[in-house]
């Protein structure tokens, strides 16, 4: 019976083992994906024609291909290239299902986060960047101190959506034998010959994980908003309001709807 | 690489199944989503809580997990039902399981989209309709619904593309779509590189076509964008 399996300690111990793997995959691929996404966004926004074309193609490619196919391609397809079956790349990356998963999710995340981060950078008022240059900051310093902090803050909820997406997508990892939350649920299902109950238990864990990310984001956004308030009320800002500099249009309605989703 | 070529047609034919499952799932998601969004904005407390609980849960559940829950759950339900009536249990087809799972899952997103699209309509337009003496039904069918759909088009197009990609997961429960066929071919030819590359390109082409169609629809409906 369903309730019997629900009360088994083995079920919940397995879930706890699995949830650690799911969290590890999510954090690793979110961080790697964010780094890749920032680089891509900067290239698309400020790069030369060729570099921009490459970045755009990357984004189109990895946004268009389903994660499962990408995973199959990296796990089954790439090892077919005999050149890759030797050396450190093979030992540490392609021979381990876990590392292959992190690679696939990072590549995928980078493409989606590139768009998210670019939106955040575009929402920075040009006056703020101009102010940095006027103060005599080098381009590098402007990037470090103005473009990146403000851009990332602008797209915080977009990044959080990506993290939530990665949590959900990480269930795919079990298909290439990674024992994540979903993989554990399936294993326990076979063990007790009850397929449904462990899946429902895993579902509860996924809902909790996603809620934690949502609460964390809400907290972080409130915190950052509190910090930014005095800055936006400063004399400098008021000055620019009386003599408006041409501003980037803010997010349109449809874009706002698009970014409010947890999917891609 | 060359051994994959004779199977090219076989993999590409799987697109029919992929697109079919996507379309049916999308239509179902639109229907359930529209119903949910009317419940969420409605004045009844209980349905509102149920609907927003639905959205919370289904936005958090992994698609793969839910496909399996539907597949196994329907099977168990069918067996129980068949035992009760005393007939042989119906076999649950992977296609049915996948489309039901996709429709139920993405209804949660569609509900949010419809709600956002509804709130994006300026109140003045609805008041204007009432001011010129249109009935409540007329206001709804002539003003609210058309504007709502125009507002929702970009996000709905996005959802369509997501469902298209998520439908690849159906291969795991045995639906003979592109991914599944690529896997079969990879096993036959021992050339997974080529097979999965072909499958990926199939999806890229459909994605590109669907994006072009979406831009076309958005261009055709820009007349509403300026007012909404």
For residue B154, the domain's CATH number is: 1.10.3720.10
What pLDDT, on a 0 to 100 scale, did the predictor assign at position B223?
60
Chain A: residue nearest B152 by CA?
A254
DSSP state of B153: H
Q: What is the pLDDT of residue B41?
A: 79
- CA atoms of A124 and A181, how far apart (whole Å): 39
Q: How many CA atoms within 13 Å lie on the side-chain side of A79?
A: 15
Number of structural domains (chain B) is 1
List the structure tokens of A101.
């998963």
Sole residue written with tokens 């999806």: B203
CB atoms within 10 A of CB A242: 6
Residue located via tokens 């984001």: A217
Whether residue A20 contacts residue A173, with contact meaning beta carbons closer than 8 Å, is answered with no
Pair B151, A254: CB distance under 8 Å: yes
Beta carbons of B196 and A69 less than 8 Å apart: yes
What share of chain A has pLDDT > 70, as a percent?
84
The answer as to whether B103 is a domain residue is yes
Closest by CA position to B79, among listed A248, A236, A196: A196
Q: Is residue B130 part of a domain?
A: yes
Residues in chain B where the model's pLDDT stays below 70 = 1, 222-228
Residue length of chain A? 264
What's the pLDDT score for residue A257?
Answer: 42
pLDDT at B227: 45
Q: Determine the average pLDDT of the residues in A147-176.
A: 92
Nearest CA to A259 among A120, A70, A104?
Answer: A120
* pLDDT given for residue B1 in this prediction: 63
A77, A170, A210 ranked by CB distance to B193: nearest: A77
The interface residues of chain A toward chain B in range 187-206, judged by CB-CB distance below 8 A, are 195-196, 199-200, 202-203, 206
Closest C-alpha to B156, from B24, B23, B26: B26
Q: Per residue in B203-219, pLDDT tens? A: 999 999 999 998 888 88
pLDDT for the residue B225: 52
Domain parsing of chain A, residue ranges: 2-238
For the cut 60, the answer to whether the pLDDT of residue A227 exceeds it is no
- The structural architecture, per CATH, of the domain A2-238 is Orthogonal Bundle (1.10)
Restricting to B residues 23-42, those with a Cβ less than 8 Å away from any Cβ of A are none
Complex confidence, ipTM = 0.86
Say if the Cβ atoms of B60 and A211 lie within 8 Å. yes
User: Quick one: which of B190, B206, B170, B200 has its CA closest to B94?
Assistant: B170
CB–CB of A210 and B196 under 8 A? Answer: no
What confidence score (pLDDT) does residue A261 get?
45
B177 — contact with chain A (CB < 8 Å)?
no
- Domain containing B127 equals 20-176
């Amino acid at each position: 019976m369903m309730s019997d399996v629900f009360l088994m300690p083995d079920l919940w111990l397995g879930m706890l083992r699995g949830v650690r793997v799911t969290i590890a995959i999510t954090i690793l691929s979110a961080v790697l994906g964010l780094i890749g996404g920032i680089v891509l966004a900067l290239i698309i926004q400020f790069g030369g024609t060729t570099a921009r074309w490459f970045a755009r193609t990357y984004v189109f490619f990895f946004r268009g291909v389903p994660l499962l196919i990408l995973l199959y391609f990296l796990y089954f397809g790439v090892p077919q290239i005999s050149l890759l079956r030797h050396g450190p790349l093979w030992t540490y990356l392609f021979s381990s299902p876990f590392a292959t998963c992190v690679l696939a999710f990072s590549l995928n995340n980078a493409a989606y986060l590139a768009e998210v981060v670019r939106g955040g950078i575009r929402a920075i008022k040009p006056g703020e960047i101009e102010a940095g240059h006027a103060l005599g900051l080098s381009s590098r310093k402007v990037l470090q101190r103005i473009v990146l902090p403000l851009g990332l803050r602008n797209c915080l909820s977009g990044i959080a959506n990506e993290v939530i997406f990665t949590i959900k997508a990480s269930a795919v990892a079990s298909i290439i034998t990674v024992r994540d939350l979903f993989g554990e649920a399936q294993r326990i299902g076979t063990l007790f010959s009850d397929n449904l109950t462990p899946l429902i238990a895993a579902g509860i864990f996924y809902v909790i994980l996603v809620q934690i990310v949502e609460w964390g984001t809400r907290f972080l956004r409130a915190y950052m908003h509190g910090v930014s308030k005095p800055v936006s009320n400063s004399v400098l800002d008021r000055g620019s309001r009386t003599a408006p500099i041409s501003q980037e249009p803010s997010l349109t309605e449809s874009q706002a709807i698009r970014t409010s989703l947890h999917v891609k | 690489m060359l051994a994959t070529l004779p199977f090219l047609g076989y993999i590409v034919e799987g697109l029919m199944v992929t697109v079919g499952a996507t379309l049916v799932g999308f239509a179902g998601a639109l229907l359930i989503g529209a119903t949910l969004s009317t419940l969420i904005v409605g004045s009844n407390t209980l349905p509102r809580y149920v609907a927003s609980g639905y959205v919370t849960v289904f936005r958090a559940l992994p698609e793969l997990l839910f496909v399996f829950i539907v597949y196994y759950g329907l099977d168990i339900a069918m067996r129980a039902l068949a035992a009760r009536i005393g007939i042989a249990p119906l076999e649950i087809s992977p296609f049915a399981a996948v489309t039901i799972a996709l429709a139920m899952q993405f209804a949660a997103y569609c509900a949010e989209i419809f709600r956002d699209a509804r709130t994006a309509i300026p109140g003045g337009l609805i008041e204007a309709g009432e001011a010129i003496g249109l009935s409540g039904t007329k206001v709804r069918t002539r003003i609210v619904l058309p504007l709502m759909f125009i507002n929702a088009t970009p996000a709905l197009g996005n959802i369509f593309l997501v469902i298209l990609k998520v439908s690849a997961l159906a291969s795991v429960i045995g639906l003979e779509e592109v991914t599944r066929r690529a896997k079969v071919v990879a096993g036959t030819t021992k050339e997974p590189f080529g097979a999965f590359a072909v499958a990926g390109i199939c999806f890229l082409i459909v994605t590109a076509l669907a994006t072009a169609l979406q831009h076309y629809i958005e261009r055709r409906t820009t007349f509403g964008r300026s007012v909404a």
